[in-house]
Amino acid sequence: MGRVYLARSDRGRTVAVKLVKTELSGQDDFRARFRHEVQAARRVGGEWTAPVLDADTEAETPWVATGYIAGPSLRQVITEGRTPLPERSVRILAGGLAGALRSIHAAGIVHRDLKPSNILLTIDGPKVIDFGIARALEAVTVGGGLTRTNQAVGSPGFMSPEQVRGRPVTPATDVFCLGSVLMFAATGRLPFGGSDSGVHALMYRIAQEDPDLTGLPYGLHSLVAACLAKDPAQRPTPDQLIAYTRSDDDAHEPWLPGALIAELGRHAVELLDAENPNGAYEDSGASEGSHQDPSGSYGAPGRSWENGERSWGHHEAAQEQTPTPAPT
């Protein structure tokens, strides 16, 4: 998709500046969709999302600046820590993500790509990022032009049946993706397996087979299974999920295990250290470390300075963002 720069606004606020790749910025269809989605994303509020603070969709290199979330992704926490979250933490995670989806849907947006690398964890709770980005990517194919109706854009392991079939998406689509995210958070596994046997086989299982909830704590079964209903009309709404999980959110107790809370605190201090302008940070979905742009200041023109750089959606781009023929 592009590059993300850790930067500061002229008022001293730490922000994430996302610049679109050159090959995308030259496509009128993408620009139009990106412009529309950024305008919609500006309307998203709430405590569970990273707010859109500024943007220039008409620039030679379009960019958008969002509030910076000083925390690792859910993907990092589970894969690098190799320890699933406890049941209570997953239920609180579900409530926070449902709150984020409620705010996103209220702005007329369907996220379309809710996955662990788009969920950042903080001491105060989870934060959802990159809402609307997948919608913009639907405007292009690898070679340019509009996507065909038999193509799907998204992250195969976290897609819904309607996405893999190339059918219209609704807010219920995000709820299905949420179910897969919760399964991953609680077990480190995906409900329909991985793509080792091939992306098309994975997409077939999502569309046709029941989820494998092996290893999921009993207390989470009904919650996750409801989200993973094949029929969108049978899935709970974000409001219903919030009500269902509300009793687990005890404000007097940390929502994550103590060791992870301590790690998040150290992580935040390291990333927000104003005395380290050359520091870089990793993409939650990246397999390689970040690096500095040798050209110096780069980002929102005249509004930020570079503090670090990471790829925006490049790690899993071939599998996640490339339009994939949907199974019949």
Instruction: Identify residue 180 by its one-letter amino acid code.
Output: S
Helix (H, G, I), strand (E, B) or coil at 173: helix
Is the confidence at residue 279, as pLDDT, over 80? Answer: no
Residues 6+ positions from 191 with CB-CB distance below 8 Å: 179, 180, 183, 211, 212, 213, 224, 228
129-156 pLDDT tens trace: 987 666 666 655 444 333 433 445 568 8
At 1 the pLDDT is: 64
Is the confidence at residue 295, as pLDDT, over 60? Answer: no
Q: Name the residue among 156, 150, 89 with its Cα closest to residue 317.
A: 156
Instruction: Identify residue 313 by its one-letter amino acid code.
Output: G
Is the confidence at residue 95, as pLDDT, over 80? Answer: yes
Specify whether the CB–CB gap between 114 and 128 falls below 8 A.
yes
Q: Where in the chain is the domain with CATH 3.30.200.20?
A: 2-69+275-315
When the candidates are 3.30.200.20, 3.30.70.520, 1.10.1660.10, 3.20.20.100, the CATH number that belongs to 2-69+275-315 is 3.30.200.20
Is 10 designated active site? no
Higher pLDDT residue, 66 or 328?
Answer: 66
Higher pLDDT residue, 230 or 133?
Answer: 230
Q: Which CATH architecture has domain 74-257+318-325?
A: Orthogonal Bundle (1.10)
Q: What is the mean pLDDT of residues 310-315?
A: 38
Helix (H, G, I), strand (E, B) or coil at 205: helix
Give the pLDDT band of residue 33 (cuts 50, 70, 90): confident
At 23 the pLDDT is: 82
Q: What is the mean pLDDT of residues 190-211?
A: 93
Could you give the CA distance from residue 226 to residue 220 in angstroms, rounded to a whole number? 10
Is the confidence at residue 237, as pLDDT, over 90? Answer: yes
60-75 pLDDT tens trace: 999 999 988 888 899 9
At 221 the pLDDT is: 97
Is the confidence at residue 296, as pLDDT, over 70? Answer: no
Q: Name the residue among 300, 284, 266, 274 with its Cα closest to residue 127.
A: 284
Give the pLDDT band of residue 298 (cuts 50, 70, 90): very low
Which of 60-69, 114-123, 160-169, 316-325 has the least mean pLDDT?
A: 316-325
Q: Where in the chain is the domain with CATH 1.10.510.10?
A: 74-257+318-325
Q: What is the mean pLDDT of the chain?
A: 78
Specify whether the CB–CB gap between 175 and 300 falls below 8 A.
no
Query: One of 28, 29, 56, 113 is an active-site residue; which one?
Result: 113
Which of 79-83, 90-94, 223-227 has the least mean pLDDT?
A: 79-83
